[in-house]
Amino acid sequence: MPEIQINGRSIHYVTAGSGPETLVFAHGYLMSHAMFAAQIAALSATHRVIAYDHRGHGESGLCQDPFVMNDLVDDAEKLIAALCDGPVHFAGMSTGGYVAMRLMLRRPDLIRTMVLIDTDATAESKATLRQYNLLLFLVRLVGIRPLLGKVLPLLFGKTFRQDPARRAAFDQWKSYISGLDRTSIRQFGRAIFDREGVQDELRALENPAPTLIIVGQEDIPTPVAMAKALQEAIAGSKLVEIPDTGHSSPVESPAQVTEAITTFLNRHT
């Protein structure tokens, strides 16, 4: 598997397909590039596709020291500069969406379009931040495995978790998350949970990159109301709601998410 050295850390990525335009996928907290398997398979027929693992996730290097949200933006900026010859379509889920929005604000020349999946432009509320910081404290003490009962319902909707036909897929993600490095989880969580909001900056843009917003109707961390507020903040953006789907919509409803992205890219390619 290919990897690139960025900021002294190994960042793992996969590539598929070919075409005149490139689509980059960035996953969410506690996930990996594998969450986009269905989208990569479909969209690589028309695009060059790159999907990478954030530091501390998947097959990328661990993150044992503190960092901040903008360091993840820097990772993405340097990856695109190294692997791409021009602006890209950037699809980010949750944390990947945080990265996409901030990269578009920092380097609009690198972003042709954005696909924002189960994400938000605001800072965490004080109440939510207290809850997340408590979880990170417990991760430090006992690791993440004993906390899966609290974490998994945030990541996956009830419909997906209780579907016998998708039990194997759910168990695979459960096993992967259980094996994540606890220090990397804590450092990464601190970076993203302490982020500042960018909603006002997005609202101030007269000509933002064309944007598709996708949200699962069972999403708990970034519910439909947040997605609607994000749509209002980004001029000209389009919102697609996916029924019976939680926070990890590319995994839970792969066909619907792929169809939404395909339709959007056909309009802007």
Q: Is 127 exposed, middle or buried (CB count within 10 Å of its CB: 0-12, 13-18, 19+)?
A: exposed
Name the 3-class secondary structure at 175: helix
What does the alpha-carbon distance between residue 227 and residue 121 come to, in Å, rounded to a whole number? Answer: 9
The pLDDT score that the predictor gives to residue 269 is 80
Domains plus CATH for the chain? 3-268 (3.40.50.1820)
What does the alpha-carbon distance between residue 15 and residue 158 come to, in Å, rounded to a whole number? Answer: 32
What does the alpha-carbon distance between residue 47 and residue 23 come to, in Å, rounded to a whole number? Answer: 7
38 Cβ neighbours under 8 A, 6+ residues apart:
250, 254, 255, 257, 258
The pLDDT score that the predictor gives to residue 29 is 98
**What does DSSP say about strands 3-6 and 9-16: parallel, antiparallel, or unpaired?**
antiparallel
**Residue from 215, 214, 155 nearest 180 by CA:** 155
**Residue from 21, 25, 81 nearest 45 by CA:** 21
Determine the residue type at 232: E
Determine the residue type at 154: L
Question: Which residue positions in the chain have pLDDT lower than 50?
Answer: none
The pLDDT score that the predictor gives to residue 1 is 65
Tell if the pTM clears 0.95, that is, is over it: yes
166 vs 45, 72, 163, 195, CA distance in Å?
26, 32, 6, 34
What does the alpha-carbon distance between residue 91 and residue 47 come to, in Å, rounded to a whole number? Answer: 13
The pLDDT score that the predictor gives to residue 7 is 87
What does the alpha-carbon distance between residue 193 and residue 78 come to, in Å, rounded to a whole number? Answer: 23
Phi, psi for 18 (deg, rounded to 5): -155, 165
What does the alpha-carbon distance between residue 113 and residue 142 come to, in Å, rounded to a whole number? Answer: 41
What does the alpha-carbon distance between residue 183 and residue 56 come to, in Å, rounded to a whole number? Answer: 9
The pLDDT score that the predictor gives to residue 68 is 98
- Greatest alpha-carbon pair distance for the chain in Å reads 49
